[in-house]
Chains A and B, each alone.
Chain A
Amino acid sequence: MDERKYPPVTQVAMVSLALIIAGGIYLSANLPQHVSLAPAVILLALSALLMAGNLFSLTRVKGFAWERFFAVAKWSLLAYLVIGGMLEFVFVHNHVRGGTLVVLTLSLLVFAIHVPALMGFTVARYSQGA
């Protein structure tokens, strides 16, 4: 088995997803009151930072199988954009507007990018790169 050392991409991605979900639960749990968006924005920003850090850390891995990574990630991205689009439709249909909609949309974007990246990584780590 390829025993190269990889950055903790899976663990970081799971924390990032947990932050996004926590933000979503915070907003949903307080309906119909208009609560401060600040906690959700902070959680989203932290999640996006972790995602950026995760992707950056992958670029530092020598000989990483990028071809295999993108082969998987692009199809996963398509699937998760469909799921994200479905959730966005529900938000709009339920008259979510303004800052809340922006936070939720950006959260879905982080979700739709990070999950495919994680799938691509899980496959590529067991493949030989260039």
Chain B
Amino acid sequence: MVSIARDPASEPRPEAAHAGPPPAIPDFDIVPRVGLALAGVIVVTLIVVVATGGLWPLEFMHVVFGAGWTIIDLFLGFVIGPILGSLSVPARIEFTVRFMPKMVVLMPAIVTATLVAGWQLSTHLGTNLTSYPQHGWVVASMIVVGVMAIVALGLLEPANIAVLIELKKPRPNPQVIERLMKRFIYAAGVTGLMQVATFVIMTKLASS
């Protein structure tokens, strides 16, 4: 969708260009139209759910998208990440151009839906008030989410976009891709660890 045209200015500097033929890279959209449409549906649904304020839709949105967020982070950080590191370069490229564009649009939508629905649910139930007996745990969840947001917005998403744009160049620089992919996978590992903390907090809140 967002097409960053290949242009000569984006070529790696001559001294950085690697030797040998460029690896074969399948054509791909950095921001896929289908993903964009799905993200739009999520945002519109979220607005409707917040505006109507029903308990079940809020609970549904929070649990479903929260589960999606947690599973993706854990699976990416602890399963896909190590596997990806052991693949050959062409296999890694093949996987990256199919997987990363989906992450670009879906993750921000999933995270926004989880947090907004969670906050509204909390407001509905009164669990975000200081009078709630487990208020300390709720504040702890805000801190955990805050750390995840900083890692995701500061490291994950920029690396995600940068890898895809590098792969769109006629001669992508493997060093740049490797550096950015490493950053992406390590950042995903950190958010995966934070998701474990989320499990502890949410199960504590649900059982109190």
Contact = CB atoms under 8 A, between A and B. Distances in A.
Interface of A: 1-2, 10, 13-14, 17-18, 21-22, 24-25, 28-33, 65, 67-68, 71-72, 75-76, 79, 82-83, 86-87, 89-90, 93-94, 115, 118-119, 121-123, 126-130
B146 A22 contact: yes
Given A10-B155, A14-B150, A25 B142 contact: yes
B153 interface: yes
B134 interface: no
A71 B159 CA distance: 16
Contacts of A28: 128, 142
A128 B11 contact: yes
Main secondary structure on A side of the interface with B: helix
Contacts, number: 112
A122 B129 CA distance: 39
23 contacts: A2-B16, A14-B154, A14-B155, A33-B130, A65-B10, A68-B4, A68-B165, A72-B4, A72-B161, A72-B165, A83-B108, A86-B43, A90-B120, A119-B162, A121-B158, A122-B161, A122-B162, A122-B180, A123-B158, A123-B165, A127-B9, A127-B10, A128-B9
A68 B9 contact: yes
Given A25-B146, A75-B31, A83-B108, A1 B116 contact: no
Contacts of A21: 146, 149-150
Given A28-B142, A122-B180, A128-B12, 5 more contacts: A31-B129, A82-B43, A86-B43, A119-B158, A123-B162
Contacts of B93: none
Interface in B115-168: 116, 119-120, 123, 128-130, 135, 139, 142-143, 146, 149-150, 153-155, 157-159, 161-162, 165-166
A25 B176 contact: no
B176 A126 contact: yes
Main secondary structure on B side of the interface with A: helix
Contacts of A2: 12-13, 16
A71 B153 contact: no
Contacts of B31: 75
B146 A126 contact: no
